[in-house]
Structure 1
Amino acid sequence: MQAASTQYKDHMKSKDRLRNQTYIRVTIGLINQEAQASAYIPSHENYAYYSSFKRPLENYEVQELYATCDQDYTPVDGSMYFLPRTRADVVLNQGIVSKELMGPVEIRFPIQHDIKGLTLEFGKAFPVDFIVESDNNTVEITGNTVGHFVTEEIFTGATFLRFTPSRMANGQSRFRIHKITMGIGIYFDNQQILSATKKEHISPIMEELPTIDFNLSVNNKDRAFDIENEESSVNFLEIGQGITVLYGQELDDGSVEWLPGAKVQLKEWSADDEEMSFSASDRFDYMDGTYHKGLYRPDGISLYDLALDVLSDARIDSRTYWIDSYLKSVKVVNPMPVVAHKEALQLIANAGRCILYQDREGNIFLKSSFIPAMEASSNNETYFSHAGSVLDKSPKMPYAMTTQNYTSVTPTRYFLPRQEEGVIYLNTGYVSEAVAGSDGSFAFNPTIEINLEASFKCFGLNLEFGSNNPLEMVFHAYQDGELAEDYTVTDLTATKVISHEFEEFDRLILEFTKGYPNNRIVLNNITFGDRTDYVFEYGHELTKTPKGTQLTKVRDLQIIRTLYNQAGENKELAKEIIVVTATDNRYTFYFTNPAYDLSCALTTPEGGQTATIIDSSNYFATVEVIGVTGTVEVSVSGREYTTAKTKVSRQLNPTGSMETWENPLISDVVHAANIADWIGDYLKSDRQYDLQYRGEPRIDANDIVFLENKYVPDLLLRVYEHTLKFNGALSGTIKARRDMSNVAAAKD
């Protein structure tokens, strides 16, 4: 679920009033939407009183002009309007107009932005020579001949853009900017967009590939996007071009909070005299190349390295994907079959109990999709402490201690044995060696470290302290060795619910910075859960009562293991007549069945002619021919693997159907058992819900949410399909499955 401010959440969940205006911005090309949305014009007194200061930044067109006394600007043909005397009477959008002749125009941003290119509409009075300045770049333009100006210059770390003309096309004239776009491309917002629909689908067990489909319809009544109009920006469009979607919500204080919606790729577009339609999809839709490099590895290869090889073979930029480091611990020996790159990633995700998806920035993620095993430890606990037991949720047995005001005279306290060899202590949870001073401070702050099998997204946790809870602590969350977040908590109580949306982490350090005066830190239990603060409620969030469906029960789940054997006889696998030239003397043979011990030969070699395999896998061999020009026959020989199938079964219900699941990468019996447990937990959750609701840009496919239910308090659902529609206001539909995994079902 997309992170958002508390003000945003409160506004979207308010039951007392309607939501304020919702905004949407869609860019086709390279436009910095964040910079566009936050740009503003300072020092309004430096500009003509009839200037517009917001519309040039919000994609409004200048359609009608006021007559002014600029040189060679105003025609006497009735096409312009008389200029009002006061600003209060100005109704026409004139863009930004400098107060002085050839005066500068400055645009500012509240934070630094990298702006890749600019698109400006100057109108009929355009500058011929001018300068564009920013914090780290100055660009001098000479000889401009058009009112529609585009530059591909990059302005890095910009907090301002200043445009200063030195020569205008019409002589002595005020400088005007009718419209400016922070980037190069086409840009639509509420003014042009008629409707927009984003549909996401993610299977929690990778039964099929994830998808994102985006459809956009914009107003074309002025025929600005006529495909026969050579000057139309529609000619800028290309298949596969990037599309960026941004959602905005006006808050109670009048500000607008912007959330990234999606980054997708253009598939097709069409236009008539009323509207223009666009459709786009995710990156996986274009990853249709074939992976032939499958290789049987007796010593195994980690799914992490296998995923790297697939992504490298697909020529995916390493800066645009992230692979869970947990996959380094999962090894397979079987070769990847000949499949499309996207299907290879799907097989890896399933074999690693992961989900494959594209995030809102267009990056590919392979992320674990189970609650990971956790281990707690501490290097500063006292001799009767058991830091590792804080995760087991078991009742703790408190010892009487001599720290200040800690021990009550009740039968629930136990006498502490002396520290001697062989003494077995009660299950106490974590007790620090350090004792806080009279002001609650420590010479060295006590810490507990929790290491996770895989990365984890946590929407809060519960802490259960002993008597005299500490006063302050800091959570240090790490991901792949890098600090992801520091979060300080000061209002601790004996049982504390930490309602915070933590960054994803695979290591968490709890540092106690202030304890109860003259006391140790005593922490009995920590309870994690894939928690959520989002609740679908009747009569408010939901616009129609939920439709629940009881799915067919599964009695048994069988996971197929595929075992490879090297028992085949050497035989000819392929033979072809190829054409060899001085610049192209290599040829690749592809095999239907996996093979090994490959060799090649020329059928009728002559003196000095050779053929050598220079690259191969179990499914291909690339042969290099030396000493030949023209046609030659080459054969490739080898042995084919034989395979055997066996099963690992898990019973899910006393009655129902039998399901079979086969992933060709799975061979090990323990691996198959883990997959059976993972998929089995999903299939046991055999209730599906269809929801119609008000629409929320924060929600992603695979999010978990609560659903108000009369019979089951805090009914937990996992979203697998989410459709968000915009037609001036938001609405949404969701398909979700009951989540009955061992998730802590506690609502914030």
Structure 2
Amino acid sequence: MIRTSETWRQETRENIRQAAGLAAISIGVFDATAAPDAQVEIPEPLWAGGSVLDDGLPVCYAVYEPAFFRLDRRQLLLPKEWGAMQAQRFVGNAQADGIGLFKQAQEIEITFGGKHDLAGLTLDFGTLDEEAPVRLEIEALRDGAVVASQTAASPGAQLRVELAMQQVDGVRLRFARLRPYGRTRLARVRFGLGYEYGNAEILRITAAQSRSPVSMELPGDRLRFLLRNENGRFDIESPSALVQFLAEGQTVTVRYGFALENGAEWVPGGVWRLQEWTVDGGEAQFTAAGPLAALNDVQYETGEYYRLAHNARELAADVLRTAGLSEEQWYLDPYLERVQVTAPLPVASCAQVLQLLANRCRAQLFSGRDGRVCIETTVPAEFAAESSAQQPPFSDAATLGQEGNAVYAAFEPSFFRLDKQQLLLPASGGTKPAGWTALTPADGEGALSGALVLLQYEAPTNVYSLEIDWAGAPPVQARAICRVDGRWQYPGVTLLPAAGRERYGVAFVHCDAVEIEVQRCLPGRRARMRRVQAGRMTDFVLGKEQIFEGMEGAMLPRLRCVTGSWTGWHYDPGDTPEEVAKVQLEADGEWARVEHDPFADLSATAAGTALEQQHGAYVSRIRATGGKAAEAVLKGVRLGRTSHPVQACAYDSGEQLPVDNPLFDAADTADVLEWIRDFYMRRLEYKLEVRGFPELEPGDWIELWDGRGAQITAAELTFHGGFRQTLTLRV
């Protein structure tokens, strides 16, 4: 589940949704890491200058400038009350002279915290060509020096700057000349090159995604979208640069959002690869696939037998590198390092091999919204709780994760009770576990200092909700924040408790620690928590009023047992190598591919010529490098195999589910089969159509109208000015 603001959740989940849906499609190459890393220095703004990095809903206010004031509804009149001013682009306070010049050229400087490689810039000056400068100078900076530059003369409302900027840490935009008496304007800067389409151009988007929570099949990702073909811009014979820019494999980035009361808010909708497009009159239809689709086209053949086991994370990384991906294009859960594999990876597509590894590690394989190929474990992670705050003798933060903690009475305002829900402190020691209580009470204003607990994990995990028992004394305000890769992700999530025990949605992804700080209590009261549960259940509650049409429910077949087998591999390096195959090699140096039974210590020889060779347990590749044909003899040590059946029982009767994974071994095959069994024992499946919720994705756990938990296994989101969504749920 994608993290969203409290405003998003309130306005989009109410019975009658007032917030208008938004969508944006970018086709091109943009650096998604540049904007969060950027700081913008702008000249003195007119009115309130909105950030040129925000994805807000900028408006254009009419001002009395030559050839600018319009009455075509594309500009707004300034409101009488400044508080009613809507989100707007940057507008400079200074005006150019009668020939469009300034005494000192107006500059906007953008600096990055690190170095970035940019294919160009896409600049939006507004909705009108009159808002663009007459002459704009672009400079790319590295350590203060200009390393690349370009000058644009008379750009339109949007400018695409094709300029290779390698390892730059800044960009300077110099507005050298404007219209006579004009003002500097800039609506948005995007770090990259491409074309973006919004609500006005988008006719329909359909994004269909599916995921097996136990990695029994490959994920499915498919995107289709329909754009207006205005003025034939997508026609093959069109002279526009747009048609020249489109190509199979081009990056397509989708965003979804809502126009909320306090402005627009967006969530990522995925990164896709363009597959094909067709034009039919005034419409252009596009089809794209997720990043995993390309991995189906690459065969993995280099799996080896390892006498010393390799961890699954190393093996998955090797598969991804074989598919041509770099490290920033994947996320592999560190949990995979705990799973040791001796079996050689099978000959299959890279996607299929990753699926087998994910299944072996009790993990999910999927395409992330950021475009990365991801493998994440579903094994519940346990936290260790501690607190640096002073605590009374009966308090121990380490007990926060356990059930049955006591609540001890204390003479604090509106806390002491005689309803048997609190215990009196014993005269001498012997207290029961009681969760965490801070020693120092809040001051007269209810403020606290350092009243926090820290939940730490051995490896990164996903925490979608925090369920906190406040020991009958909910504070006025608290905050939860997570740590990712050693950095705290400020500002965190504000908690406003209203009951003694509540669940809060947080959507902390890949975090290794969570900090819960009680910031305000009633005056004189201590901060306390009886129990904390950090889980994968989100705070999303699906009510029946959100369902558009009658839902389809089906009781899936009853499961009797899950069966599988692990393979014992036998290898003796002292065995005499046997002949595997004889291979005729061509003089032109073409590779000869040889499939064979699993072998180790493979080697090929040929009389009178040198060989180049590559060996996997199941496939060898050999070629002659001496410039003449030859017969090569391939030898190796045969690997012995024994099969050991295992099963995980469910019900006394029903169907048997066979699981064939050649990577199973003696260590934890039983655990994997039980994990698969537990999923398939949830037999009830719902398919229903609801108002669209772009933050939901397959794999998420949500709460149904009757309090039951359900896991999303497939979601099809449709946008056509508003959102609709078809969900498949496993209960």
TM-score (norm 2): 0.78
Q: Are positions 1:682 and 2:679 aligned together?
A: yes
Residue in structure 2 matching 1:190, options 184, 195, 199:
199
CA distance in 2, matches of 1:158, 1:235: 29
More displaced, 442-451 or 202-211?
Answer: 442-451
How much has 1:100 moved relative to structure 2? 4.7
CA contact under 8 A between 1:129 and 1:141: conserved in structure 2?
no
Partner of 2:644: 646
| Aligned ranges 1:553-632 → 2 under 5 Å | 553-566=558-571, 570-579=577-586, 587=591, 589-602=593-606, 605-606=607-608, 609-611=609-611, 615-621=614-620, 628-632=626-630
How much has 1:552 moved relative to structure 2? 0.6
Residue in structure 2 matching 1:223, options 221, 228, 232:
232
| Aligned ranges 1:223-622 → 2 under 5 Å | 223-231=232-240, 233-252=242-261, 255-287=263-295, 288-376=297-385, 387-393=397-403, 395-397=404-406, 413=423, 416=426, 425=430, 427-430=432-435, 435-436=439-440, 439=443, 447=453, 449-451=455-457, 455-465=461-471, 475=480, 477-484=482-489, 487=492, 495-497=500-502, 499-504=504-509, 505-510=511-516, 523-539=529-545, 541-566=546-571, 570-579=577-586, 587=591, 589-602=593-606, 605-606=607-608, 609-611=609-611, 615-621=614-620
How much has 1:390 moved relative to structure 2? 3.0
Partner of 1:722: 715
Report the AA paired with residue 280 of structure 1.
Answer: A
CA distance in 2, matches of 1:490, 1:146: 47
How much has 1:559 moved relative to structure 2? 2.8
Partner of 1:703: 700
- Closer, same or farther in 2 for the Cα pair 1:163/1:552, shift >3 Å? same
How much has 1:717 moved relative to structure 2? 1.6
Report the AA paired with residue 217 of structure 1.
Answer: L
Q: Deviations over 1:365-421 (max 9, x none)?
A: 21112422444456877776665443231x2356789999998889874774867xx
CA distance in 2, matches of 1:688, 1:262: 26
Partner of 1:746: none
How much has 1:543 moved relative to structure 2? 0.8
CA distance in 2, matches of 1:109, 1:8: 32
Partner of 1:694: 691
CA distance in 2, matches of 1:179, 1:445: 43
CA contact under 8 A between 1:565 and 1:643: conserved in structure 2?
yes
How much has 1:162 moved relative to structure 2? 4.6
- Closer, same or farther in 2 for the Cα pair 1:706/1:521, shift >3 Å? closer
How much has 1:350 moved relative to structure 2? 1.2
Partner of 1:74: none
Report the AA paired with residue 616 of structure 1.
Answer: H
Give the secondary structure class of the aligned counterpart of 2:537.
coil
- Closer, same or farther in 2 for the Cα pair 1:502/1:706, shift >3 Å? closer
| Aligned ranges 1:5-16 → 2 under 5 Å | 5-15=5-15
Partner of 2:176: 164
CA distance in 1, matches of 2:369, 2:62: 36
- Closer, same or farther in 2 for the Cα pair 1:599/1:707, shift >3 Å? same
- Closer, same or farther in 2 for the Cα pair 1:703/1:103, shift >3 Å? farther
Partner of 2:48: none
How much has 1:190 moved relative to structure 2? 2.3
More displaced, 47-56 or 331-340?
Answer: 47-56
CA contact under 8 A between 1:120 and 1:177: conserved in structure 2?
no
CA distance in 2, matches of 1:239, 1:619: 33
Give the superposed CA RMSD.
4.8
Partner of 2:22: 23
Indicate the percent of aligned positions where both proteins have the same amino acid. Answer: 21
- Closer, same or farther in 2 for the Cα pair 1:483/1:665, shift >3 Å? farther
How much has 1:548 moved relative to structure 2? 0.8
CA distance in 2, matches of 1:26, 1:216: 9
Report the AA paired with residue 162 of structure 2.
Answer: E
CA distance in 2, matches of 1:737, 1:456: 20
CA contact under 8 A between 2:413 and 2:524: conserved in structure 1?
yes
Report the AA paired with residue 402 of structure 2.
Answer: D
Partner of 1:207: 216
Q: Deviations over 1:517-542 (max 9, x none)?
A: 99987643223332323222233x21
Residue in structure 2 matching 1:663, options 661, 664, 669:
661
CA distance in 1, matches of 2:106, 2:73: 15
- Closer, same or farther in 2 for the Cα pair 1:491/1:152, shift >3 Å? closer
How much has 1:223 moved relative to structure 2? 2.1
Q: Which has the larger radius of gyration?
A: 1
Q: Deviations over 1:93-125 (max 9, x none)?
A: xxx99995456898989998987524689999x
Report the AA paired with residue 732 of structure 1.
Answer: Q
CA distance in 2, matches of 1:47, 1:107: 21
CA distance in 2, matches of 1:129, 1:400: 73
CA contact under 8 A between 1:26 and 1:188: conserved in structure 2?
yes
Q: Deviations over 1:480-515 (max 9, x none)?
A: 544345758786789342524142323335566789
Partner of 1:50: 68
- Closer, same or farther in 2 for the Cα pair 1:46/1:629, shift >3 Å? farther
Give the secondary structure class of the aligned counterpart of 2:247.
coil
CA distance in 2, matches of 1:146, 1:448: 53
Report the AA paired with residue 542 of structure 2.
Answer: F
CA contact under 8 A between 1:3 and 1:698: conserved in structure 2?
yes
Partner of 1:64: none
More displaced, 714-723 or 530-539?
Answer: 530-539
CA distance in 2, matches of 1:181, 1:416: 65
- Closer, same or farther in 2 for the Cα pair 1:623/1:381, shift >3 Å? farther
Q: Are positions 1:635 and 2:638 aligned together?
A: no
More displaced, 400-409 or 648-657?
Answer: 400-409
Report the AA paired with residue 7 of structure 1.
Answer: T
CA distance in 1, matches of 2:724, 2:521: 48
Give the secondary structure class of the aligned counterpart of 2:709.
strand
How much has 1:692 moved relative to structure 2? 0.8
CA distance in 2, matches of 1:437, 1:129: 63
How much has 1:236 moved relative to structure 2? 1.7
CA contact under 8 A between 1:471 and 1:492: conserved in structure 2?
yes
CA contact under 8 A between 2:305 and 2:343: conserved in structure 1?
yes
CA distance in 2, matches of 1:476, 1:683: 35
Give the length in aligned residue pairs. 671
Q: Deviations over 1:338-361 (max 9, x none)?
A: 111111211111111111122222
More displaced, 403-412 or 443-452?
Answer: 403-412
Q: Deviations over 1:396-447 (max 9, x none)?
A: 356789999998889874774867xxxxx56413466x84278599998674
CA contact under 8 A between 2:648 and 2:674: conserved in structure 1?
yes
CA contact under 8 A between 2:66 and 2:181: conserved in structure 1?
no
Give the secondary structure class of the aligned counterpart of 1:728.
coil
CA contact under 8 A between 2:3 and 2:507: conserved in structure 1?
no
Report the AA paired with residue 532 of structure 2.
Answer: I
